Chains A and B, each alone.
Chain A
Amino acid sequence: MNREQAEQILSKTFCIDKFYDTQWEVIKRLLIGERILLIEKTGFGKSLCFQFTATQLSGTTIIFSPLIALMRDQVNKLNSLGIPVRCINSNQELEENNEIIAEAIAGNIKILYIAPERMENIDWLASTRQMNISMVVIDEAHCISNWGHDFRPAYRRIINLVNLLPISFPVLACTATATLRVEEDIKNQIGNINYTYRGNLLRENFRLFVIKVETEEEKMAWLGKNLNNLPGTGLIYTGTRVNTEIYSRWLKYLGIESKNYSADLDADQRKEVELGLLENRWKCIVSTNALGMGIDKPDIGFIIHTQIPESPIHYYQEIGRAGRNGDKTFIILFYNPNADDDLPIYFIENHKPVITKYYKVIEALKRSRLGENDIIREANLKKTEIRVIKADLIDQSIINEVLDGRSKKYEYRFDAPELNYSAFDEIMQHKQRDFRKIREYIYTYDCRMKYLTDYLGDNLKGKCNKCDNDTNNVKVVDFYEDWKEKIETFQESYYPQLEVKALHTKLQSGFAAAYYGFSNVGKTIHKCKYKNKGDFPDSLLNITIKAFNANFKSTDFDLLLYVPPTESGDLVRNFASKLARELKIKISHSLHKSKPTKPQKIFQSSLMKSENLKGVFIYENQSEINGKKILLIDDIWDSGASMKEIGKYLTSLGAEKIVPLVIAKTVGGDV
């Protein structure tokens, strides 16, 4: 097929007249069975390279992509062109996925999108033996590399696979963000790459700004004053989940439509927010970096970071989705030198668990073959830590992930090498270097676009002439005093939500009077609990009453219960008694533990926390609960395991409604 013929098909099938030269070259090479690495910026048209090729090959092209939202969009788009394309993912019902697999085996599907994790699925692996597979595409290929900004262990099996594919089988790896180092790493891992294409990364419609501030409140003030002046709708990235909630509620408080998004949301909630974003339902989404790569919205008008990211490559990736339609888009980074370095430095220094935790897992697996939950119990580590450790140990060929029937088990390898922990130190130093580079971005007086793209391996001639430095349009916040009062009123009326997602329980979402670490509240509780400073003082009682009045004034509670203590004696009992007196709700002291439990904080995982409490709560006069609206009191909400367990128990006794109210909610292990 020559280019002219190909472009005839292109205009018929895809309603596009011409290929870019690079697109055509990639396609030509794939059609003769080459392996290609394609590094091009967002909006270049990388997808067309494999989509067109797939339609010209006999059989099914498999596309590994980590982004479910993006997969869905592509599937819809291609189906509307009449190309048979499907995706398999964990958000779909098993039946639907099985039907799609059957169709692929029958040869009715041209392109099949799947998540990398699918390579661990037994049904998928069985079905691959029967499909006629024509090409493999690795999207977001930077996820292969430990030196990239978004290393994903699930890509390991794709690398294995590609290395086991016949050498003349077409493979395309693509990414929009790869430093030279990452490019090298991808090439090393995917052997026999025939050709690498690297385009320039300049985004001409970007308006890059950095706004230096002295406090978090200045960021709030700037957003309050200016957000509505920014074009269209957009994204605000905060560093933490808590801040997504705070900023989103701040904007709502000012009457600006906004929605928060983080990994706390379940699949349906996420889908809903993603859809709302496409439909411009809100001025902005306030999100952690859980949202980002997955959005295929062409007209994002602004992307604002309230928190400095870990590196220029993180930053370039996160802003990459803005302005894909070519319209002017505002890219703003706030920086508070007094506080903002802490979070990225914490992440960098703790990117791997300490070495002793690795050995705990290794020793446990030397003794027996275990599933993930067994490892969590044996090693008493958090699930997130176990996942990192597991992935690293698999990567270093120390353990295997195996299938026993349908369940995953982990095995220590007979000839396993010693753990190479120093490899992680090297990555950490690399990350520290990267963090210094993003700080240089803040302080540079030169073109910001050139700074970013050069860092990524480009060599931009000249300047973008659009960033704050190039246009001499440096923004400052010199109007904070006007906003001070508004922000203080907002903060005083701010109560963290206690979110309950479980089904089959009458326990509802409740509130805390404050965050544990954000004020003196945490310190005060700590002193009383662990340093024997006596009952919780009235200041805590007062803020709790305020939280109650702000949120539940209209509810008539029948009964006030409190979580029976493990070790802190009568603190909560006395506090609840005082509260009951003030709120004029009948208190009951009949909720007990049927057996002593261990303090929840010695357990690292929520799995073990909830197992520690399973079935331990007991209420003396059980008939008393039936049909009651109950206010449930505790001092601290950490994982919420105790209150959830009590909620389940009271539900079984017929409670009509259970609402948790606590003094403080922790943020990621403050206690």
Chain B
Amino acid sequence: MIINEWTYWIAITQLKGWRIEAVNKLVVNIFHEQKSSFEEIFSLERNELSNRYNLNEKECLDIINLKEELPNYSFLAEDLKSQGFEIIPINSPDYSPTLKENLKLKSSPTVIYIKGNRKILMEKSIAIVGSREADDISLEFTDNVAKKASKEFKVIVSGFAKGVDRQALESAMKYTGQSIIVLPQGVLTFGSGYQKYYQQIVNGDVLVLSVFHPKAQWASGLAMARNPIIYALAHEIYVAQSSDSGGTWHGVIDGLRKGREIFVRKPEPNEKNANQLLIQRGAIPVDLHGEIQESKKYIENAIEEKYIFKEHHKTKAVAEPDIVEKIFGILKTGSYTSAEIIQKAQLNWKPGQLTKFLKEQNNVRMSDSTPKRFTIVGEQSETLF
């Protein structure tokens, strides 16, 4: 990894109004098709950019404007380097192959920011996911699966939320396995987290990873946007406990839609959760030790139990991590209508779609006025711990 390029890598992830796919395509274009370099593309005039890279007028202008900001990103890159963080760009051999395989060019983060043992990204990995308010039985399941995984030298991918996520991480450490902590914030704002996992990071057992701007503060929108990264970093996904909405649910449904194998803890008959529903949707049931059950029996059970839960979940508005970050970035600066945010962030969303998304964010406040204006609330008061 050429450290001197960090500035450019950070900068291109901040191209205004660009989706991940567009940025990734630009990378492919520069390095593979044109066999060129960042230095060159940032030295080109507008017409050369549009001719050689087949970019439209807005895109050319974006790149030319970004050039002005490069020195600012140099300071950020220096800060990261000096504090022992690393940037792994998508074209690096150190980039997680699992992540790339699962998210493809369309949504693989263009860069990931890490601290710790980057070789962990190459190992077989599992994610154990589930509710923040998990029952004891789900935590026991998590511990069992983490123990088994650690024994098999598989890495535990944890979202570092309360409940199942934290249990998975604690268990991995207890059984001296390796883990990846996927942050719902930038690497520079994880503060005391590094203190807490210091020994494991020094020993090479924990890798801290984020796909967001290094200075991004924790926000529920980022926590949502982080979930697909957790799923995508894992070869296997185990669900300890899911309700019928929220991050786990949507993550699993999305995973199933993409055809991934997902293992769900078979719930006890009187459990009030949506594990059984996920099994009905095609997830594979496993027992308390994470072992696969004979499917037939479970399908029968499933039919019996399908009346317990009503299917009332409509698909939530979901967004790519980079877009979520942009939206929150704007909200931090004041109060705006959906239309204004769309304009500022240069999104190709409909106002209604954004309003729906914003309403679902628990740290966004909506005004009583018409049109509705949105601001961010309690950004600092909510914590992950």
B partners with A: yes
A contacts, CB < 8 Å to B: 119, 125-126, 128-133, 136, 157, 160-161, 163-169, 191, 366, 368-369, 400-405, 409, 411-415
Which parts of B128-180 form the interface with A (CB within 8 Å)? none
Q: Nearest Cβ in chain A — how far from B203, in angstroms?
A: 8
20 example contacts (A-B, Cβ-Cβ < 8 A) are as follows A125-B76, A125-B79, A128-B76, A131-B72, A160-B81, A165-B71, A165-B74, A166-B71, A168-B39, A369-B198, A400-B84, A402-B83, A402-B194, A403-B83, A409-B195, A411-B84, A411-B194, A411-B201, A414-B201, A415-B117
Which residues of A have CB within 8 Å of B201?
411, 414
Which residues of A have CB within 8 Å of B203?
414
| Contact in complex: A160, B78 (CB < 8 Å) | yes
> Which of A129, A160, A167, A411 interacts with B72 by CB under 8 Å?
A129
| Contact in complex: B7, A164 (CB < 8 Å) | yes
C-alpha spacing A136/B70, complex, angstroms? 13
| Contact in complex: A165, B7 (CB < 8 Å) | yes
Nearest-CB residue, chain B, relative to A127? B75
C-alpha spacing A125/B188, complex, angstroms? 12
Which parts of B32-74 form the interface with A (CB within 8 Å)? 39, 42-43, 67-68, 70-74
A-B interface, 7 closest residue pairs, ranked by CB to CB distance from nearest = A400-B84, A128-B75, A133-B71, A164-B74, A402-B83, A161-B78, A164-B77
Interface of A is mostly: mixed
Interface size class of B (residues with CB under 8 A): 35 or more
Which residues of A have CB within 8 Å of B43?
168
What sequence of 0s and 1s flags, for each residue 1-36 of chain B, a beta carbon within 8 Å of any chain A beta carbon? Answer: 001101110000000000000000000000000000
User: With A160-B82, A164-B81 given, is the CB distance from A404 to B192 under 8 Å?
Assistant: yes
Q: Does B202 contact A (CB under 8 A)?
A: yes
| Contact in complex: A414, B204 (CB < 8 Å) | yes
C-alpha spacing A131/B78, complex, angstroms? 16
| Contact in complex: B84, A413 (CB < 8 Å) | yes
Nearest-CB residue, chain A, relative to B83? A402
> Which of A125, A168, A404 interacts with B195 by CB under 8 Å?
A404
C-alpha spacing A400/B82, complex, angstroms? 7
Further 8 A-B residue pairs, CB within 8 A, beyond A133-B72, A403-B83: A132-B68, A161-B74, A165-B7, A166-B70, A400-B82, A402-B84, A404-B195, A413-B84
> Which of B76, B78, B202 interacts with A414 by CB under 8 Å?
B202
C-alpha spacing A125/B202, complex, angstroms? 26
> Which of B6, B39, B192 interacts with A167 by CB under 8 Å?
B39
Which residues of B have CB within 8 Å of A126?
215
| Contact in complex: B3, A163 (CB < 8 Å) | yes
User: With A161-B75, A414-B204 given, is the CB distance from A191 to B198 under 8 Å?
Assistant: no
Which residues of B have CB within 8 Å of A405?
191
Nearest-CB residue, chain B, relative to A412? B202
User: With A128-B75, A402-B194 given, is the CB distance from A164 to B3 under 8 Å?
Assistant: yes
User: With A131-B72, A166-B42 given, is the CB distance from A366 to B202 under 8 Å?
Assistant: yes
Residue from B67, B72, B74 whose CB has the most chain A CB atoms within 10 Å: B74
Nearest-CB residue, chain B, relative to A62? B71
Nearest-CB residue, chain A, relative to B196? A369
Which residues of B have CB within 8 Å of A412?
202
Which residues of B have CB within 8 Å of A415?
117, 204
Which residues of A have CB within 8 Å of B198?
368-369, 411
Q: Nearest Cβ in chain A — how far from B7, in angstroms?
A: 5
Which residues of A have CB within 8 Å of B8?
166
Which residues of B have CB within 8 Å of A167?
39
C-alpha spacing A369/B215, complex, angstroms? 22
Q: Does B228 contact A (CB under 8 A)?
A: no
Q: Nearest Cβ in chain A — how far from B262, in angstroms?
A: 32
User: With A125-B79, A157-B82 given, is the CB distance from A166 to B202 under 8 Å?
Assistant: no
Which residues of A have CB within 8 Å of B116?
414
Which residues of A have CB within 8 Å of B77?
164
Nearest-CB residue, chain B, relative to A192? B4
User: With A128-B75, A157-B78, A404-B192 given, is the CB distance from A169 to B70 under 8 Å?
Assistant: yes
Which residues of B have CB within 8 Å of A409?
195
Q: Nearest Cβ in chain B — how far from A372, in angstroms?
A: 16
Nearest-CB residue, chain B, relative to A136? B71
C-alpha spacing A369/B193, complex, angstroms? 12
Nearest-CB residue, chain B, relative to A160? B78
C-alpha spacing A157/B79, complex, angstroms? 9
C-alpha spacing A245/B75, complex, angstroms? 44
Which residues of A have CB within 8 Å of B4?
163-164, 191
C-alpha spacing A403/B190, complex, angstroms? 11
Q: Nearest Cβ in chain A — how far from B81, in angstroms?
A: 6
| Contact in complex: A164, B78 (CB < 8 Å) | yes
User: With A128-B72, A161-B75 given, is the CB distance from A404 to B82 under 8 Å?
Assistant: no
C-alpha spacing A522/B82, complex, angstroms? 47
Q: Nearest Cβ in chain B — how far from A74, in angstroms?
A: 22
Q: Nearest Cβ in chain A — how far from B193, in angstroms?
A: 10
Nearest-CB residue, chain B, relative to A58? B68
Residue from A128, A130, A166 whose CB has the most chain B CB atoms within 10 Å: A166
User: With A402-B84, A415-B117 given, is the CB distance from A166 to B74 under 8 Å?
Assistant: yes
Q: Nearest Cβ in chain B — how far from A87, in angstroms?
A: 18
Which residues of A have CB within 8 Å of B204?
414-415
Which residues of A have CB within 8 Å of B71?
133, 136, 165-166, 169
| Contact in complex: B194, A164 (CB < 8 Å) | no
Nearest-CB residue, chain A, relative to B116? A414
User: With A163-B3, A169-B70, A369-B194 given, is the CB distance from A129 to B39 under 8 Å?
Assistant: no
Which residues of B have CB within 8 Å of A161?
74-75, 78
| Contact in complex: A129, B75 (CB < 8 Å) | yes
C-alpha spacing A259/B89, complex, angstroms? 59
Residue from A130, A160, A401, A409 whose CB has the most chain B CB atoms within 10 Å: A160
Residue from A164, A168, A403, A409 whose CB has the most chain B CB atoms within 10 Å: A164
Q: Nearest Cβ in chain A — how far from B232, in angstroms?
A: 24
| Contact in complex: B68, A400 (CB < 8 Å) | no
Q: Nearest Cβ in chain B — how far from A241, in angstroms?
A: 33
C-alpha spacing A130/B68, complex, angstroms? 11
C-alpha spacing A169/B79, complex, angstroms? 19
| Contact in complex: B117, A166 (CB < 8 Å) | no
> Which of B6, B68, B81, B191 interacts with A404 by CB under 8 Å?
B191
Q: Nearest Cβ in chain B — how far from A191, in angstroms?
A: 7
User: With A160-B78, A164-B77, A414-B117 given, is the CB distance from A369 to B72 under 8 Å?
Assistant: no
Which residues of B have CB within 8 Å of A131?
72
Which residues of A have CB within 8 Å of B81?
160, 164
C-alpha spacing A157/B83, complex, angstroms? 11
| Contact in complex: B74, A401 (CB < 8 Å) | no
C-alpha spacing A6/B362, complex, angstroms? 59
Which residues of A have CB within 8 Å of B42?
166, 168
Q: Nearest Cβ in chain A — how far from B327, in angstroms?
A: 20
Which residues of A have CB within 8 Å of B73?
129
Q: Nearest Cβ in chain B — how far from A418, in angstroms?
A: 15
C-alpha spacing A132/B69, complex, angstroms? 7
C-alpha spacing A166/B5, complex, angstroms? 9
Q: Nearest Cβ in chain A — how far from B31, in angstroms?
A: 17
> Which of B7, B68, B78 interacts with A119 by CB under 8 Å?
B78
| Contact in complex: B7, A400 (CB < 8 Å) | no
Which residues of B have CB within 8 Å of A133?
71-72
